[in-house]
Structure 1
Amino acid sequence: MTGSPFVLPPAPEKLEVTRERVRLRPFEESDLEAMAVYRGDAEVCRFLPFEPQTADDIRRRNGHLIGCTSLEGERGGVMLVIERTDDGAVIGDLVLFHLDAEAGSAEIGWVMSPAASGKGLATEAVRALVDTAFDVYGLRRLVAQIDADNERSAALAERIGMRREAHFVENEWFKGRWSDLLVYAVLDREWTAPGPSAP
């Protein structure tokens, strides 16, 4: 069998997703300083594939995604900042990347400011990202890869209804230790079922 039944729809020209307490939009140059506040925190970066970052570090690593709304291309992806709707403060960011166009699959990830933790804002934001991936980008499968020691992120993935598909034991030397990797996933048809999309 050749080819794939999946066809990626055109990328949106503009993207803004608003929920009750959070707004998602493509990140801009003007967001770099706010992002560096939480991405510069060693504890925030403990389980992430980079060390604490300055605004210049973020620009070098992710600058090609500024304003981007397309998943396609060798370095394609969408990076969205999370704003609180009440005051416009940037409290985190989300990524949708590693597109497998033939399979209609992509990876999601998130980074949150500790100042926003414990309020359900990350859950609301990641749910909005999943909605966007399925409804706007027409994807059929999403994956999240999480360090097994990152209990908060694993709990978030499970809270929104993602399924744990794999646990790779000591699969990578990561930040001074052999780390375990958890892989979570959800299909579009599962997401439209009552559980995951409920508030």
Structure 2
Amino acid sequence: MLRPEYPIETARLTLRPFAETDFDALHAYQKLPEVARYLYEGPREPAETAEALERRIARTSLEKAGDVLVLAVVLRETGELLGEVNLCWLSESNRQGEFGFVFNPAFHGNGYAGEAAVEMLRLGFDGLGLHRIIGRCEARNTASARLMARLGLRREAHFVQNEFVKGEWNDEVVFAMLATEWADARP
């Protein structure tokens, strides 16, 4: 079980649970085709963002396998919502998890996603005691793949046309890190 103490602070960021007041900033990036391009859903209408926000507000801890923790990533200096990071507890018996990240493109290229993603790895390995954490992305999403490699995850698989998403077959790449690798590479 993992119930983090909030807020989680990094050098430049605050990670915290989502709140109703995040709607405008969340919708600002969820409505963008370039953000939805590599996600399962398309650009969101306001009502869809409202539903997504309600789900995010409720995901503040990991009580059992299958739960997902989703945190808002805020630039501490300005209070702006930059994006989100998540950690899913895949298996209790195998101590497996998966992490992910989605950021507003207006804030790309500043290292914010990496800084926030490190905290999700820390929560998974140090907080939940996971043995292995994976990250997955659509194979054409080279920016996400590069970020996972920079974080020290190894590329383990490239699945060819394994998912039919938005009317087309997509390839998927899978990266992974073990707890022993985290101990050696921990920032």
Question: What TM-score do the two structures reach when normalised by structure 2?
Answer: 0.91
Distance in 1 separating the partners of 2:133 and 2:56: 20
Tell me by how many angstroms 1:48 deviates. Answer: 0.6
Runs of 4 or more above 4 Å deviation = none
Residue 58 of structure 1: how far off its partner (Å): 3.1
By how many angstroms is 1:64 displaced? 3.4
| 8 Å contact kept, 2:65–2:90 | no
Over residues 111-132 of structure 1, what are the superposed CA-to-partner deviations in whole Å (9 max), with x where a residue is unaligned? Answer: 0111111111111111121112
CA contact (8 A) 1:71 1:99 kept: no
CA positional deviation for 1:139: 1.8
How far did 1:28 drift? 1.7
Give the corresponding residue for 1:7: none
Q: CA shift at 1:160, angstroms?
A: 0.4
Question: Of 4, 9, 17, which aligns to 1:18?
Answer: 9
Secondary structure of the 2:176 match is strand
Number of equivalent positions: 187
Q: Counterpart of 1:185? A: 176
User: Are residues 55 and 129 of structure 1, via their aligned partners in 2, closer, same or farther at CA, if it must alter by over 3 Å?
Assistant: farther
| 1:89 maps to amino acid | E
Deviation at 1:98, TM superposition (A): 4.6
Deviations along 1:44-87, whole A, 9 cap, x unmatched? 11001111124431342452341533223586211101001111
Mapped partners of 2:57, 2:146: distance in 1: 29
Q: CA deviation at 1:141?
A: 1.3
- The equivalences for 1:144-155 within 5 A come to 144-155=135-146
Give the secondary structure class of the aligned counterpart of 1:14.
coil
What is the identity, as a one-letter code, of the residue corresponding to 2:100?
G
Report the CA distance shift for 1:82/1:140 in structure 2 as closer, same or farther (over 3 A). same
Deviation at 1:25, TM superposition (A): 1.0
CA contact (8 A) 1:65 1:76 kept: no
Q: Distance in 2 between matches of 1:171 and 1:99?
A: 20
Q: Which residue of 2 aligns with 1:79?
A: 70
Query: Greater share of helix residues, 1 or 2?
Result: 2
Show the counterpart of 2:83: 92
Q: How far apart are the structure 2 equivalents of 1:173 and 1:13? A: 35
Q: Which residue of 2 aligns with 1:64?
A: 55
Q: Matches of residues 6-45 of structure 1 in structure 2 within 5 Å?
A: 10-12=1-3, 14-45=5-36
Question: How far does residue 135 in structure 1 lie from its aligned partner after superposition?
Answer: 1.8
Partner letter of residue 157 of structure 1? M
What stretches of structure 2 of length at least 5 have no aligned partner? none
Report the TM-score, using the length of structure 1 for normalisation: 0.86
